[in-house]
Chains A and B, each alone.
Chain A
């Protein structure tokens, strides 16, 4: 089974709104990463948060990590149509081997 599980599986919002995606995982981790995948393309790294960090920002992205609940959230503020993509969390409990969740499909309607 997957280490990380995203929630919701699909999210549809209007341009300008905020989008929040959640990731839960099972075992202790060193770091958690978020990736984006546009349709028909490979994954692109967005942000990494270490296990001793609680929150991290990068542009319109805000990631939180709660190791006591084994969960993370990705917030995209002021969403744009170009943010339409699938978003995956990945954990590295196994060192060099990342374990990916099934992803959240985000649709931002113009």
Chain B
């Protein structure tokens, strides 16, 4: 998985609790992305980062925040988890972020919110 790890790989939590997912890369790529994957919706972009402390919203950012204090780490936080946030979350990286740049994906985190 191109030097990308995600932790945890599986998590079950309760509605209203905060949750943080971590993406770690060893490729020194500038761009990092968080997606969620749900049946019938494919992959949808939550947030992305184009450098340390530089982030922007994606298509489905409500209820999520991100932080990137180091090149290698990109954190996704659900401040107060809801059942609608039950999903599989994927982190991806790319080197330049330009048109035509390939994205490399992590193994995913399966999150269940009860």
Residues of B contacting A101 in the complex (Cβ-Cβ under 8 angstroms): 42
Residues of A contacting B97 in the complex (Cβ-Cβ under 8 angstroms): 95-96
Q: How large is the interface on A (under 10, 10 to 19, 20 to 34, 35 or more residues)?
A: 20 to 34
Interface size on B, residues (CB 8 A): 29
Is B50's CB within 8 Å of the partner chain A?
yes
Is B7's CB within 8 Å of the partner chain A?
no
Tell me, in angstroms, the Cα distance from A9 to B84 when the chains sit together: 24
Q: Which of B101, B102, B108 contacts A42 (CB 8 A)?
A: B108
Determine if B100 and A45 form an interchain contact, defined as CB atoms under 8 angstroms apart. no
Determine if B43 and A88 form an interchain contact, defined as CB atoms under 8 angstroms apart. yes
Closest-CB distance, B37 to chain A (whole angstroms)? 9
Q: Which of B40, B58, B100 contacts A48 (CB 8 A)?
A: B100
Using a CB–CB cutoff of 8 Å, the interface residues on chain A facing chain B are: 2, 30-31, 33, 40-45, 48, 50, 88, 90, 92, 95-103
